[in-house]
Amino acid sequence: MQKMLTIISNVLRGSASRNGAEMVSEGTRVVVSARTYADFTPQATFDIKKCDLHRLEEGPPQQAVLTREEGLQYYRTMQTMRRMELKADQLYKQKIIRGFCHLYDGQEACAVGIEAGINLTDHLITAYRAHGYTLTRGGTVREILAELTGRRGGIAKGKGGSMHMYTKNFYGGNGIVGAQVPLGAGVALACKYQEKNELCVCLYGDGAANQGQIFETYNMASLWKLPCIFICENNKYGMGTSVERAAASTDYYKRGDFIPGLRVDGMDVLCVREATKFAAEHCRSGKGPILMELQTYRYHGHSMSDPGISYRTREEIQEVRSKSDPISMLKDRMLNNNMASVEELKEIDVEVRKEIEDAAQFATTDPEPPLDDLCNHLFYNDPPIEVRGTNPWTKLKSVS
């Protein structure tokens, strides 16, 4: 039996090397590192797209090793993120979620890939399309959905909403376009000051990339060599304005000028991971900030009040879904290389679906915050104070 397997494996290896890439799906080449029958491949190496470089001699590696465990974890997290956002869409249309709601579906590889390249002890800040990052930074689906529905079990006790979710070392969730970038550099300054070898990932979109305060931040971060990874999530549209109509230069990875930059395929979780690891190494070695542009795509419109088809075609959206979906890409890789079975992935889907349903159930039944929480949390670590209500006779109480 053993001898037969060896023969088979030699034949296969032989044919793989003879025909090369034609035998397997485009962009991947399999190196078989171990093989026992009825078991999955524990790890495989994949070719990833080369990054365009700016002021860098060399970039991230063009191959990535993926273990089975990692693959399953990335798959589960991306699928959870996808389903969570779709559930939010559903709840919004049922008017159970109100106000601003900016969904992340399509961009999952960015959040998951970035987190895979850093540690939880590192820091991260982003703008308002933040549900995905809240999840990767330690939030639960329950807490996130309950925050969207404005309940006391929400991650900010129902007081923040979609754009103001926070966890340890995750600073939101910021509503003012571009304002989070100087904040992120400030966090990076604290990292350098406190000498704990931590860094800050500071995200912004293609729309924000033209903000003046971002260039002010590039200057100071570079001057003071702050350990800051600036990341532009370029999903091609700032609300309803395409990048061509907003930016004189759409080479966002070059806009840092004196800051080295790389342009990354943001639909490939492995590409994002390797680039992030590369960038993190750059920062931790004291070289100062670095800039990554992730080319990605959002399926939804800018927010729930934007159908997203007045400035782009349905065909374009459909094409991205069928050719570049981040979850499908990972799934195909794993199945084609025997790293997981169809049934196994289906089972994960079922588990994810259940988790989302339970969370939605909680988010729709948990009570709203109590009225006496209205004035709380004005200050930190301060004695209780009185707050004027809507008229001079109404005095409300506020505790820290």
Partner 1 sequence: MASLRCFLRSGRNAVSVILRREFHKTSPAALQVTVRDALNQAMDEELERDERVFLLGEEVAQYDGAYKVSRGLWKKYGDKRIIDTPITEMGFAGIAVGAAMAGLRPICEFMTFNFSMQAIDQVINSAAKTYYMSAGVAAQHSQCFAAWYGHCPGLKVISPWSAEDAKGLLKSAIRDDNPVVVLENELMYGVPFEMSEEAQSKDFTIPIGKAKVERQGSHITLVSHSRMVGHCLDAAAVLAKEGIECEVINLRTIRPMDIDTIEASVMKTNHLITVEGGWPQFGVGAEICARIMEGQAFNYLDAPAIRVTGVDIPMPYAKILEDHSTPQIKDIIFSVKKTLNV
Task: Give contact residues for partner 1 (rule: CB under 8 A).
Answer: 123, 125, 155-160, 164, 166-168, 170-172, 174-176, 179, 181-191, 193-194, 200, 212-213, 216-217, 219-220, 223-224, 373, 376-382, 385, 387, 392, 400
CB of 284 to partner 1, least distance (A): 17
Based on CB atoms, which residue is closest to partner 1, 173 or 261? 173
The values of phi and psi at residue 331, to 5°, are -60, -50
End-to-end CA separation in angstroms for the chain: 71
Based on CB atoms, which residue is closest to partner 1, 46 or 218? 218
Based on CB atoms, which residue is closest to partner 1, 163 or 330? 163
Based on CB atoms, which residue is closest to partner 1, 45 or 213? 213
- Separation of CA 21 from chain center: 30
Relative to beta strand 63-67, strand 237-238 is: unpaired
Host H or E run for residue 144:
helix 141-148
Based on CB atoms, which residue is closest to partner 1, 170 or 362? 170
CB of 209 to partner 1, least distance (A): 15
- CA 111/CA 305 separation, integer angstroms: 24
Based on CB atoms, which residue is closest to partner 1, 157 or 298? 157
Residue with tokens 């670590």: 381
Q: Are 103 and 300 in contact (CB under 8 A)?
A: yes
Based on CB atoms, which residue is closest to partner 1, 196 or 245? 196
Residue with tokens 């089972």: 347
DSSP 193-225: HHTSS--EEEEEETTGGG-HHHHHHHHHHHHTT
Q: Are 330 and 30 in contact (CB under 8 A)?
A: no
Q: Which of 186, 133, 187, 175 is nearest to 155 (CA)?
A: 133
CB of 102 to partner 1, least distance (A): 16
CB of 179 to partner 1, least distance (A): 6
Q: Which of 285, 226, 281, 284 is nearest to 256 (CA)?
A: 226
Based on CB atoms, which residue is closest to partner 1, 216 or 332? 216
The values of phi and psi at residue 49, to 5°, are -60, 140
Q: Are 188 and 154 in contact (CB under 8 A)?
A: no
User: What's the Rg (C-alpha) of the chain?
Assistant: 23
CB of 49 to partner 1, least distance (A): 32
- CA 97/CA 77 separation, integer angstroms: 23
Based on CB atoms, which residue is closest to partner 1, 191 or 352? 191
Based on CB atoms, which residue is closest to partner 1, 55 or 152? 152
CB of 308 to partner 1, least distance (A): 27
CB of 156 to partner 1, least distance (A): 5
CB of 99 to partner 1, least distance (A): 13
Q: Are 67 and 330 in contact (CB under 8 A)?
A: no
DSSP 327-344: HHHHHHHHHHTTSS-HHH
Q: Which of 182, 157, 169, 185 is nearest to 133 (CA)?
A: 169
To 5 degrees, how large is the angle CA 367–CA 370–CA 376? 135
CB of 262 to partner 1, least distance (A): 23
Q: Which of 46, 178, 71, 49 is nearest to 125 (CA)?
A: 178
Residue with tokens 């904040």: 183
CB of 127 to partner 1, least distance (A): 13
